[in-house]
Amino acid sequence: MAGFAEIIGHEQIIEHLQNAIKMDKISHAYILNGPDKSGKKMLAEAFAQTLQCEQHGIEPCMKCHSCKQAVNHNQPDIIYVTHEKPNTLSVADIRSQLVNDVDVKPYSSRYKIYIVDEAEKMNQQAQNALLKTIEEPPAYAVIILLTTNADAFLPTILSRCVVLNLKVVSDDKIKKYLMEHCKVPDYQADVCVAFAQGNVGKAMALASSDDFQELKAAAVQLLKRIHEIELYEFKEAIKQINEYKMEINDYLDIMMIWFRDILLYKATTDVNGLIFKDEVYDIKKQASKSSYSGIEAILEALEKAKVRLTANVNFDLVMELLLLTIKEN
């Protein structure tokens, strides 16, 4: 658990929450809305820890009894609502852990804070049960709903909560963090940042993932030698891609970034904007051999391949068509 100071980006949300603490205008219900791994839980925990901190500042002091308990996830008045079944947050979960519990006064703190992760999984009954509590909460209750999709909530819930939408974090900030804190070299940080699209958690996960590095190496290796592969060898190449079937979108995204780099270098001859800076020799070589229309055709084929796979078209057939397009262009 970290304080606000350790969170990368999300300055507007942090400012909003810290102002609410400063002015003692805490809402009874918040919705933190943003993609998976975007920092919702870190924000919720920093807010909860600060509200319960015995120093009453706008950052948790990390030294008081409450802060120490919060760091170890055993602060009795910061409650994490969990669910038994993976795809649903049932009315029984909400009633037993929140609705029936909220009337019991805080054990040792000023507030009783409920953090509900994956709140979009609440079914309508669960939302209706929660609505009654949100409409007439005890003065000490603060409910924080974390969601990847605020549109899944009833309008009546949305209207009674402060909705805070997480925005993407700038690539520069994420790259700096990966290089300083995760000790990732700049060329590797560039690929992770390009992939994460402003999502800090995703960038961190990719930077520390051996599987992702292996996936990247396999895709790049294939692209480097695709013009030397004979048609009869395609089956073997497709068999290798099959090993990454579960992460095929990531695999195709790596290919897409590769060809965007080729297009960028062809248009500007500037290596500074490249994502695959460590592959600059091959990028230059392919750029000199490729035409603009050929690169565009490949990028279109990659988009088509994604659409076809989503529509459950035969995997090997989609890959064969894609590799043919890349080889021909």
pLDDT at 1: 61
Domain 209-328, CATH class in plain words: mainly alpha
CA–CA dist 187, 272 (Å, integer): 11
Per CATH, is 4-165 categorized as 3.20.20.120? no
pLDDT at 145: 94
Residue ranges of the chain with pLDDT lower than 50? none
CA–CA dist 322, 284 (Å, integer): 22
pLDDT at 32: 93
CA–CA dist 200, 286 (Å, integer): 32
Helix (H) or strand (E) holding 1: none
The residue ranges of every structural domain in the chain are 4-165, 209-328
| pTM, rounded to two decimals | 0.74
CA–CA dist 21, 15 (Å, integer): 10
Mean pLDDT score of the chain: 87
Amino acid at position 119, single letter: A
Give the residue from 112, 113, 161 showing the smallest Cα distance to 135: 161
pLDDT at 314: 85
Could you count the other beta carbons within 10 Å of the beta carbon of residue 274?
22
Give 132-151 pLDDT, tens digit per residue: 889 888 999 999 999 988 98
